[in-house]
Structure 1
Amino acid sequence: MLLSNKLILAGVSLEGSALAVLTQDIDVPLQLLGFITLHAAASAIIAQLVLLFLPPQYRQPKWTVLGLFFLLAFFVPLLSFITMTAVVLITRFFSKTVIYYPFVNVELPEFTLGSAGIRNSLGEGAIRTRLNNPNLSTEVRVKALLSAHAMSARYSVPMLKELLGDEADDLRLLAYGMLDNREKTLNALIHELLIKLETCHQSNLCQLYQKQLAELYWAFAYEHLAEGDMLTYMLTQAEHYTRAALEIKSDGDLWVLLAQILIKQQKNQEAEAAFDQAIRLGMPVTRIQPYLAELAYQRHDYQAMRKHLQLIPFNNQIPQISNIQRFWLRTPA
């Protein structure tokens, strides 16, 4: 406080002296030199005074802040005084406190293997058991069927198809409605994307539409919705739009999708080439190894199959793959 009082007194005295020089009857150059010298000294003191009143977090970088307030005080004396007073009041009484937390070591979060999200009250096995048990009441089986609707379509669709021949009308009609609704949803999305693709003139946007179309056509095969000639058609369309998207831009995900389609079409050699291309584009090898192991198994190359299985982490989250690893690599559970 004592220092600030001295600075205020010195600043006022120097500024008063600078103004007094202008009233003296001396040569103009000497008069201007005296005014500028005294005014600059007063401005420097005012800048230092403002710096003292600022909160600590606003004083850095020191010389930059000092220079800013000095220039304001020197070139805009009266207005800068009002501005700097407002700055001091705002920063001291109206600004939020800035808290700097140091870096610390934290423990690893607890991680649970398995699918993320809220799980159904019934597991897949329990749902299948209840649906396939005709001795249970229709109400219990309907509840199990509704639980199946919340499952992934890849696993629920086969169960729904099994119920199409069930003796219970409610179950049969509900299963048919759920299957029909899923097919209509996919067909509506495909129809919408085809319209967008016809009017598309930007290559990156066209590539996006083609990729989405490939994924939707592939969904019919992946979710077991299509069979026979319809399956062949869906796979052909999925391959067509995947290759069309790859012609615009090479993409690792698309090469993996193409390989999956080719496996379903029993074009294993082309599928392996597609997987190799995906790896060259930076796709994680561990993601592709299960497919390569499957292809090696189909051509009865068990040594290569074991090699691919060894490259898959043993803490794999998919139980089926972990069980296959333990069987073929004789790894204890």
Structure 2
Amino acid sequence: MISKWLFSGALLFELSSWAAFHERLSVAQATSLYLGAHAASSALLAAGIWLLLPRRYKLPLPWSPLFIFCLAFFVPVLGAVGVAAALFPALYLPRRRQEKSWDSMGLPELPFRPQERGKELMFNDGGLQDVLRHAPDTEKRMAALFATRRMPPREAIPILKLALRDPADDVRLLAYSMLDKQESEINLRIEAALRQLAVAEGAHRTALHDALARWYWELAYLGLAQGSVLDHVLEQAREHAQRTLDVPGNPYAHVLAGRIALEQGRLETAANHFSHAEAAGVGAPTLAPFRAEIAFLQGRYAEVRQQLAALPSETLQRPPFAALAKYWL
């Protein structure tokens, strides 16, 4: 109701402003009377329209009503007519909302963890490697590196090594720092164990040999050592593991020694270690992958199938055994 009175007042003031030129007044008086009446008409029109506007168009103050006032005041006649013609239909005859038949969505960012994990063969680190090889955006390639922090080191390190050849300095430096951090942590543990070994005796000394064998093996297993350094690391792991084989109650010492021998290419020695481990109580499914590898390297392919068949069905559904089972079984 208030808006209708404001619009009526705006119309009366606008008509009276033009009536000023029909009176016998001087130019200055007629102009002053016109401008005063026209300003009052524009102010009433702006106030009436502002009251009818939706809330999101009323703010910020005072710019919203001032904008309407300027349109009506600085364009005589046509300004008020234009404001009325533009706003009144929009206020009283709003456009109907149509139902959306589709939703527009942006491309999702690279996730830092899998959303679901099923029993089927999962999407592996090949996806991150493809991002590093083909993604043009440096930020996406760096996001791929950050995603490796939640992956096992054995799977993450090949991706980090691939990133060392990236054309962007930021990506290369990030990959180098992540690799260096993992290697430094292992080397610090080795140095601490070697210092303790110099003064240790008895069971503590044996435990230190076992820990050193595992840390040296970790350097080789993760691919953090290459070339002659790898040979040295494996030899150190073998020497320390050898000192733990005769300790009762540690059957997995033979498993570690067998894996080291297998990595060094001493297949017969590795097979003997795995036999000792099985005799000490290690389950055959635990040893089956290593025995299958020995059989493959020796050309006994029928035994490869037999060893893989001994693995549990759940293990054969997960990488890397899923691909092996698909080929051999």
Name the TM-score class by shorter chain.
Answer: 0.5 to 0.7
- Using the TM superposition, give the Cα deviation of residue 168 of structure 1 relative to its aligned residue in structure 2, in angstroms: 0.2
Cα distance in 2 between the residues matched to 1:250 and 1:267: 25
The alpha carbon displacement at 1:250 in A equals 6.1
SS in 2 for 1:165: coil
| Amino acid in the other structure paired with 1:218 | W
User: Which of structures 1 and 2 has the bigger CA Rg?
Assistant: 2
Question: For the structure 1 residues 112 and 169, does the alpha-carbon distance in structure 2 shift closer, same or farther, using more than 3 Å as the test?
Answer: closer
SS in 2 for 1:283: coil
**Which whole-Å CA distance do the structure 2 matches of 1:308 and 1:231 have between them?**
29
1:314–1:322 Cα contact (<8 Å) kept: no
Q: What per-residue deviation string (whole Å, max 9, x for no partner) do you get for residues 3-32 of structure 1? A: xxxxxxxxxxxxxxxxxxxxxxxxxxxxxx
Q: Is structure 2 residue 273 aligned with structure 1 residue 274?
A: yes
| Distance of 2:326 and 2:135 partners within structure 1 | 36
Distance 2:326 2:179 in 1: 36
The answer to whether structure 1 residue 323 and structure 2 residue 310 are counterparts is no
**Correspondences of 1:55-134 after superposition (within 5 Å):** 113=119, 124-134=125-135
Match status 1:233 vs 2:236: no
Per-residue deviation, residues 272-331 of structure 1 (Å, max 9, x unmatched): 0000000000001111011111111111111222221222223325332233223222xx
User: What are the superposed Cα offsets for residues 72-122 of structure 1, whole Å, 9 maximum, x if unpaired?
Assistant: xxxxxxxxxxxxxxxxxxxxxxxxxxxxxxxxxxxxxxx9759xxxx9xx9
Paired residue total: 212
| Cα distance change of structure 1 residues 320 and 190 upon mapping to structure 2, 3 Å threshold | same
Q: Which amino acid aligns with 1:188?
A: L
Question: Match for residue 294 of structure 1?
Answer: 293
Gaps of 5+ in 2: 1-116
TM-score (norm. length: structure 1): 0.60
Q: Distance in 1 between matches of 2:126 and 2:168?
A: 21
Report the counterpart of residue 144 of structure 1 in structure 2.
144
Provide the rounded CA distance (Å) in 2 between the counterparts of 1:148 and 1:163.
Answer: 11
Q: Kindly tell me: are residues 271 and 250 of structure 1, through their superposed partners in 2, closer, same or farther at Cα, counting changes over 3 Å?
A: farther
Contact 2:128 2:159 in 1 (8 A): no
Tell me how far 1:134 sits from its aligned partner. 4.6
Residue in 1 that maps onto 2:164? 164
Give the 3-state SS of the residue equivalent to 2:271 in structure 1: helix
Matched residues, percent identical? 30
Distance in 2 (CA, whole Å) between partners of 1:268 and 1:250 is 25
Matching residue's letter, 1:187: N
Per-residue Cα deviation, 1:150-190 (whole angstroms, up to 9, x for no partner): 21111111111122121100001111111111111111000
**TM superposition outliers: structure 1 runs of 4+ over 4 Å:** 111-114
Q: Which amino acid aligns with 2:308?
A: L
Distance 1:299 1:282 in 2: 26
Q: What does residue 182 of structure 2 align with?
A: 182
Residues 252-261 or 303-312, more deviating: 303-312
Is 1:199 aligned with 2:215?
no
Task: Give the equivalent residue in structure 2 for 1:312.
Answer: 311
TM-score w.r.t. length of structure 2: 0.60
1: CA distance between counterparts of 2:124 and 2:308?
28
Match of 1:221 in 2: 220
